[in-house]
Amino acid sequence: MKDTPLSNCERDFLLKAIEEKKRLDGRQTYDYRKIKITFGTDYGCCFVDLGKTRVMAQVSSELVAPKENRPNEGIMFFNTELSPLASPAFEQGRQSELSVKLNRQLERCLRNSKCIDTESLCVVSGEKVWQIRVDVHMLNNDGNLMDAATIAAITALCHFRRPDVSIQGEEVTVYSVEERDPIPLSIYHMPISVSFSFFQQGTYLLVDPSEREERVMDGLLMIAMNKHREICYIQSSGGIMLLKEQVMRCSKIASVKVSEITELITQALLNDKNARKAGGRGGFAESMPQERITALKMDETPVETTDVTERANDIVKKTEAPPQTVPSPVVPAPGVGQVGLGLQNTWGIEEDDDDEEEGMGEEDSGEEAGGKVAKMEVDQHKKEQQRGDVVEISDSEEEEVVILHPETPVPKNQKGSSSHQKGAATSKKKQKK
C-alpha cells in the first residue's frame, strides 16, 4: 500500500509554522516528546513509546561458532523489522532502503561503539560463543524511529539475561532459568542517539522530528552519545551544509538530552528489577492503561460447563455415522489395483467415444501406417458389433437416442481389441529397437 502524500498546503503550513518557531504538537524547539519505557514478561523485551512512535525490541541469545578472525569474541546481530503495522508504506519481507539504513545506524551505534563486552560472551575460544540477537520491531511510525530504536535496543540489552553455562573439560552445559540465575550482559556505556532536523537549508533546527516534520525537513543530523559525553557516532544526511558552530551546538543539546534519557532508562530498569524481586506480575499485560475508555480488562472467569457433556453426547448421537461405502478396488491386471476414473463403467450407458480417444492416446506417435490401418479396421468392426447389439427405438429421427442391451458384450470386446492393438504397438516398438 502506498503512503498518503503530503499536500502542498500542509507542507507550506508546516514550514511557515517552523519559521514562526511553532510546532504542530505545541512543543518547543528542543523538546522531546514523552518517552515511556515498559518491559515485557520475559527478559530482554522492551517497549519504547516516543510520543505516538512505538518500538519493541527483543533480545535473544544462541550458542554459535565464532567468526574465524575473532575466535574469542561473541557476535552481536541486529535486525530491524519495519513491520507494515508501523506504516502502510512498509512492506513485509522486503528490505527497503529505510530498513537497511536504520539497521546500519543501529549497528554503528551499538556494535561499533563497543558498548557491549563481546569477549565476555566467549564460552570456548574458537568453538562456541554467544550470539546476541537484537530484533527491533517498529510498531507505529510517528517520526524519529531511530532514536526510539536505539533507546529500545540498549534498554533491552541492559534488561536481557543470558543463561548460565559451565565448562567441564570438553562438555558445555547450559543451565535453564530454573537451575541457575541467568547472567546479565556486561555493558560499558549506553549510547543514545539524538536526531536533529534542519529546515530551510539549515536555518531552523528541531529536536526529535515527528513524522510530518520528517517529511518537510531538508536534512537530518544524528548524534549518538553516552552519558560521559563521548560521541559514539555522528551522521548527517540530506545533503545540507552545516557550519561548525551548528554541529557544536547540536552536540551540546545532545549531551543534555542523553543524560536525561539515560537517567530515565536506569530508573525504568531499577523499577522493573524491584517489581520482579517483589514477585509482582509485570509485562505488557500489566502496562495496559486502565483509565482509558478504549481499554477494558476482565478477571479470571470460570466457564459454566454443567450441560456440556450431555450436549456433546446429544450431538454425537444425532449425527449418523457416514455410510461405509468404500468402493472395492478393481484389479485390471495382476499386480495392479485401481479405483475411480478410467475403469470399467458401472453405469448403464457405455461411452464409446472416450474409449476410442483413450485408444488414440495410447497409440504411439511414431507408429507406422500399417498400424493405423489395422486400427481403422478394428474400429469398423467395433461399430458393426455395436449395431448388432443396439435396440433401435424408432426410425431415423431418434437415431441418436439408443438403449444398449444391459448385458452387452461390447465392453469386453472393446477391451480385448484395444489390448490387442496395444500389444501390436509395443511389438512394433520392439522391432524398431
* Binding segment (CB under 8 A) for another protein, from list 164-172, 299-307, 346-354, 375-383: 299-307
* Binding segment (CB under 8 A) for another protein, from list 38-46, 174-182, 242-250, 335-343: 38-46
Show the binding pattern over residues 208-247: x = contacts another protein (CB under 8 A), - = does not. Answer: ----------------------------------------
Measured at the CA of 103, the angle between CA 190 and CA 54, to 5 degrees, comes to 70
Q: CB burial class (10 A; 0-12, 13-18, 19+) of residue 20?
A: exposed
Q: CB burial class (10 A; 0-12, 13-18, 19+) of residue 82?
A: buried
Cβ closer to another protein: 88 or 370?
88
Least separation in angstroms between CB 137 and another protein: 7
Is residue 84 close enough to count as binding another protein by CB under 8 A? yes
Is residue 139 close enough to count as binding another protein by CB under 8 A? yes
State the Cα–Cα distance between residues 257 and 249, nearest whole angstrom: 13
Is residue 162 close enough to count as binding another protein by CB under 8 A? no
C-alpha cell at 237: 544526511
Is residue 315 close enough to count as binding another protein by CB under 8 A? yes
Cβ closer to another protein: 170 or 307?
307
| Binding-site member from 7, 69, 301, 324 for another protein (CB under 8 A) | 301
Strand-strand pairing, 75-81 and 128-140: parallel
C-alpha cell at 175: 543451565
In terms of phi and psi (left: phi > 0; alpha: psi -120 to 50; beta: otherwise), the region of 338 is beta
Is residue 96 close enough to count as binding another protein by CB under 8 A? no
| Binding-site member from 35, 81, 148, 212 for another protein (CB under 8 A) | 81
Least separation in angstroms between CB 409 and another protein: 48
Is residue 41 close enough to count as binding another protein by CB under 8 A? yes
| Binding-site member from 100, 308, 331, 343 for another protein (CB under 8 A) | 308
Place of cell 556505556: 189
Cβ closer to another protein: 86 or 190?
86
State the Cα–Cα distance between residues 198 and 219, nearest whole angstrom: 5
Is residue 141 close enough to count as binding another protein by CB under 8 A? yes
Place of cell 481403422: 376
| Binding-site member from 284, 388, 392, 432 for another protein (CB under 8 A) | 284
What type of residue sits at position 166?
S
Residues whose CB falls within 8 Å of the CB of residue 65, separated by 6 or more in sequence, listed in order = 127, 128, 129
Is residue 37 close enough to count as binding another protein by CB under 8 A? no
* Binding segment (CB under 8 A) for another protein, from list 56-64, 119-127, 177-185, 201-209: 56-64
Report 316-375 residues binding another protein (CB under 8 A): 316
Name the DSSP class of 127: T
Beta-ladder partners of 39: 46
* Binding segment (CB under 8 A) for another protein, from list 140-148, 215-223, 382-390, 414-422: 140-148
CB 86 within 8 A of CB 141: yes
State the Cα–Cα distance between residues 309 and 237, nearest whole angstrom: 68
CB 154 within 8 A of CB 192: yes
| Binding-site member from 23, 37, 40, 159 for another protein (CB under 8 A) | 40
Tell me the three state secondary structure of residue 403: strand
End-to-end CA distance of the chain: 62
Helix (H) or strand (E) holding 162, with range, is strand 161-162
| Binding-site member from 9, 278, 303, 349 for another protein (CB under 8 A) | 303
* Binding segment (CB under 8 A) for another protein, from list 76-84, 119-127, 162-170, 326-334: 76-84
* Binding segment (CB under 8 A) for another protein, from list 36-44, 255-263, 327-335, 424-432: 36-44
Q: Which of 55, 12, 31 is nearest to 210 (CA)?
A: 31
Applying CB under 8 A, the residues found at the interface with another protein are 1-2, 40-42, 45, 52, 54, 56, 58, 60, 79, 81, 83-88, 92-93, 133, 135, 137, 139-142, 283-285, 288-289, 291-305, 308-309, 311-313, 315-316
